[in-house]
Amino acid sequence: MKIALIMENSQAAKSEIVHNALTSVAEPAGHTVYHYGMYAANDDAQLTYVMNGILAGLLINSGAADFIVSGCGTGMGAMLALNAMPNVVCGLVIDPTDAFLFGQINDGNAISMPYAKGFGWAAELNLQDCYRKLFEVERGVGYPKERAEIMAKNRNIFSGVKAAATQDMLAVMKSIDQDLLKSAIAGEKFQDLFFANATDEPLISYVKELLAE
């Protein structure tokens, strides 16, 4: 699984802590982590939680990523921004129980975490435990087990409602403020990571057009 990490500007100083915790769990489990920034608080390309949502939508819908790990100070803003995008289902994960239940019941493709609220001593251990509950176990099998069938049915219903309530990602990209979109894809490693992994040709072509302007 291709996992994309996206950090927003208010919490970018913790980027290395989060990245190290994520890779220490995800990579031994057979996944690959791609860090789309921010990498430090003083990066030239500054990502807000709104931009995180746009970037997450692009990565999921283009095939460049299968799962997004993001967040902000409280985790709320990034969660809302990611859930505004088509085909992105993002849960708020504060502790390992949240991570386990989101993975088992909702089986979404993104999480948002609070990197300011409650982020103190041994915070990296909580991060690692959350990632273990997501990436070291089979997801979507239901909890409790006797409700697995109805949970799977509800996920499919939700996917249909989400599709009806949102535009496709190319339409989203063409509709939003183009300067905002360009800022969201301005990270120093974006082009290398995106073009190496994306598979959706219309989205790839549109990103190339934006970068060429």
pLDDT tens figures, 46-58: 999 999 999 999 9
Q: Which two tokens stand for residue 213?
A: 């302007």
**Res 103: pLDDT:** 97
Sites in the chain below the pLDDT cut of 50: none
Residue 129 tokens read as 């435990």
Distance between CA atoms of 140 and 123, rounded to whole angstroms? 27
Nearest 5°: the CA angle 47, 131, 27 is: 90
d(Cα 84, Cα 90) in Å, to the nearest integer? 9
Asked whether the CA dihedral 62, 110, 180, 170 is positive or negative, the reply is positive
Query: Which pLDDT does position 204 carry in this prediction?
Result: 98
3-state secondary structure of 29: coil
- The pLDDT, as a whole number, for residue 71 is 98
* pLDDT for the residue 37: 97
pLDDT at 201: 98
Q: What is the pLDDT of residue 133?
A: 96
Range list of β-strands (E), the chain: 2-5, 32-35, 67-72, 90-92, 110-114
The pLDDT value given to residue 132: 97
pLDDT at 9: 97
pLDDT at site 113: 98
Q: Which domains does the chain have, with CATH numbers?
A: 2-212 (3.40.1400.10)
Interatomic CA distance for residues 45 and 28, integer angstroms: 30
